[in-house]
Structure 1
């Protein structure tokens, strides 16, 4: 089977893609999908992504951890936001987390209604994700969460990293895939320095969370792939 890879550079463009037969990889490097991967890696039972802050309140009192982030900051009254340092084993093992973020959970909800499957990607699980995608007999769409429906650099760089690893196993690439791969080739020797140009990097610098950024750019420290099953992200069983 000839397989294709496409990169959707922002959720605002998702309606242009036929994804009914595609595995959609949702990407929100700074920081939602990185934290999701890290949380599942550290033993979280499940993560329930919800669209609105108010949706988290439906789960209050049910022994879930409630996590809400808007504009890079923890929403007042919630257990934590989307910093990966909140998703340590001590905090999340055996727990179900209800999470809403500015961009990542929105992209997840948009993808789930039509995609064949939805999985979560980050630099933290790059290789295991790519190896699994190669082993599947499906087209792949890399969905960049962006920033409030706009293009962003960090998600696109990750998409380019995936394209570069999958190139030999796929036959069709759209122009967004080519552009993402070229950007990654420019940046890969020092992704953090390259991202000093990015608007989101400046937003996060203002919040004094450089440690989060550095953490999210680590390669292959997690051996899990979160997959959306019903309304929950759980660890994909890997043989």
Structure 2
């Protein structure tokens, strides 16, 4: 059933704050710009059949008998013994098309699992921000933008992205909480030089130390794909064109 009161947009700046938000009648959008949700969007756009997000490395390993690709990242690095981690360059069409991937990451996949009680769970990145925002505009549900952060700490890149989504979907008749106002103000400050602004982000510096700066540049590309990944039966899949309407 659709909401009866004013539509609202809220931003959860850290998964640690999720218990303080209501997920009823809510579309939760999980954001982990560097790099989990960017890679998820890219992989599904490149024809991956599904991506199964799991919280722990041991859970991921349990899927090996099914013949799926197994991906695991911790602290920015690929976990030894897995097919790959969460670099978008691992999710190319020649590698993932037609495949199911089981993925665990330091922050993003855990945030997805924590949102399981929402009416719908979608995935956001700069790569699909236009398609995502257009879909959210059609939803007669509250919107909760969930920043995966870094080990329950607030981070810059996820907050800025949340503000970018709000800039595309906010209207006078939509209520925004204070966190949404903060995110929107931060995006407006950053949008003229997104890469420069986010070069100050702690995770960007962490990735530079790991010599994966090319991943940062990739994840900051805007509107390069038109998919909206959603969680269905514990797996992320792309919405079909006939599903780009309001949820029932």
TM-score of the aligned structures, taking structure 1 as reference length: 0.98
Deviating beyond 2 angstroms after TM superposition, the runs of 4 or more aligned structure 1 residues are none
Give 1:57 shift. Answer: 1.2
SS in 2 for 1:168: coil
Segment drifting more, 161-170 vs 83-92: 161-170
Determine the C-alpha separation between the residues in 2 that align with 1:170 and 1:46: 36
In the alignment, what sits opposite 2:82? Answer: 78
Deviations 1:93-130 (Å, cap 9, x if unpaired)? Answer: 00000000000000001001x21110000000001100
Q: Which one of the candidate residues 60, 67, 70 is aligned to 2:64?
A: 60
Deviations 1:124-175 (Å, cap 9, x if unpaired)? Answer: 0001100000011111000000000000000000000011111127520000
Q: 1:209 to 1:169 in 2, by over 3 A?
A: farther
Q: Which one of the candidate residues 187, 193, 208 is aligned to 2:196?
A: 193
Q: Does 1:136 align with 2:139?
A: yes
In the alignment, what sits opposite 1:156? Answer: 159
Give 1:61 shift. Answer: 3.1
In the alignment, what sits opposite 1:3? Answer: 7
Q: CA RMSD in A?
A: 0.9
Ranges in structure 1 where 5+ consecutive residues have no aligned partner: none
Q: Does 1:219 align with 2:186?
A: no
Q: How many residues align?
A: 238
CA contact (8 A) 1:5 1:170 kept: no
Q: Which one of the candidate residues 10, 23, 26 is aligned to 2:27?
A: 23
Determine the C-alpha separation between the residues in 2 that align with 1:237 and 1:170: 29
TM-score of the aligned structures, taking structure 2 as reference length: 0.94
Ranges in structure 2 where 5+ consecutive residues have no aligned partner: 243-248
Q: 1:169 to 1:237 in 2, by over 3 A?
A: farther
SS in 1 for 2:106: coil
Determine the C-alpha separation between the residues in 2 that align with 1:159 and 1:169: 18
Determine the C-alpha separation between the residues in 2 that align with 1:43 and 1:169: 38
SS in 1 for 2:199: helix
Determine the C-alpha separation between the residues in 1 that align with 2:200 and 2:61: 37
Give 1:2 shift. Answer: 2.0
